[in-house]
Structure 1
């Protein structure tokens, strides 16, 4: 099997070099390009076969939000993992609406980067545990949405990053039943994807911290 092709977009060369060093130690992935801003990234994506993008939010010329919007607008569906700082929460809703697949702390080490990349490549949402804890400890938002216990179980497993197949096994349900239930939750919570659903659930106290 050919290695998965990864692109990094970040304006800090030191950070890109650090991630490159981690990627070199991983099996089945290869770095095929680097960009220092969103404009360079779009040019790179247009001429390079890419399986996954590691994307910074704050960059000169064009930031990560605008770049992600253009990439999705062009029809590219490769996973996008956002390289995040602790104070980037204000940007998350916009990025989730665009359709990113997860958030990873910039200072993450080998193990977390490996898990995040594997999750995204397998079509699963990924949210850094440290960022999740930060979000959980922030001020909760009120909501009128009510979820059943079965829905709460499903959301909890989504927050943990389990795939559809894994969730089906955990809940002893068919894959189609899990997909249907998740689709209904997306409509119910007005969220575009599993990553957005997980963030929404945490913000609005739809899952228990002790269960994640």
Structure 2
């Protein structure tokens, strides 16, 4: 699986690269520290985008919204610390295919990646998909 990683925290990106490459055997094909850099670097031929929501310059919501204008086939999973239901429901409206809390990333991310790759949605149970 080819993954593009977007997060403003370099330590988190580095940890995720090791985890995704070594533990899950996935390829990191690109990374960016904010939404603007993501839009400049993304080539629209990756399997999954892992996107932080709260970043400087251009947040994850705005970045995915702009990316969807270019290619509606994008499969993005939000990786966030925020657990506010209204905030998270916006993910569905913006076109995200899944969401994993950073506090549960090592436990839930493999499940989310597999579900989204199969064409399904994966969101925390407390987020209503209706």
Distance change >3 Å, CA 111–CA 95, structure 1 → 2:
closer
Aligned-partner Cα distance in 2 for 1:38–1:115: 25
For 1:147-158, list aligned pairs within 5 A.
Answer: none
User: Is residue 2:128 matched to residue 1:199?
Assistant: yes
Distance change >3 Å, CA 68–CA 21, structure 1 → 2:
same
How many residue pairs get aligned? The number is: 129
Aligned-partner Cα distance in 2 for 1:103–1:86: 10
For 1:98-177, list aligned pairs within 5 A.
Answer: 98-128=94-124, 132=125, 135=126
Please point out which of 35, 40, 43 is paired with 1:38.
35
Which protein has the bigger strand share?
Answer: 2
User: Is residue 2:8 matched to residue 1:7?
Assistant: no
Which protein has the bigger helix share?
Answer: 1
TM-score relative to the length of structure 1? 0.56
Equivalent residue, structure 1, for 2:24: 26
After superposition, the CA RMSD in angstroms is 1.9
Rg bigger for which structure? 1
* 8 Å CA contact retained: 2:5, 2:50: yes
How far does residue 32 in structure 1 lie from its aligned partner after superposition?
Answer: 0.6
Aligned-partner Cα distance in 1 for 2:83–2:109: 20
Using CA pairs under 8 Å that are at least 6 residues apart, name the structure with larger relative contact order, 1 or 2: 2
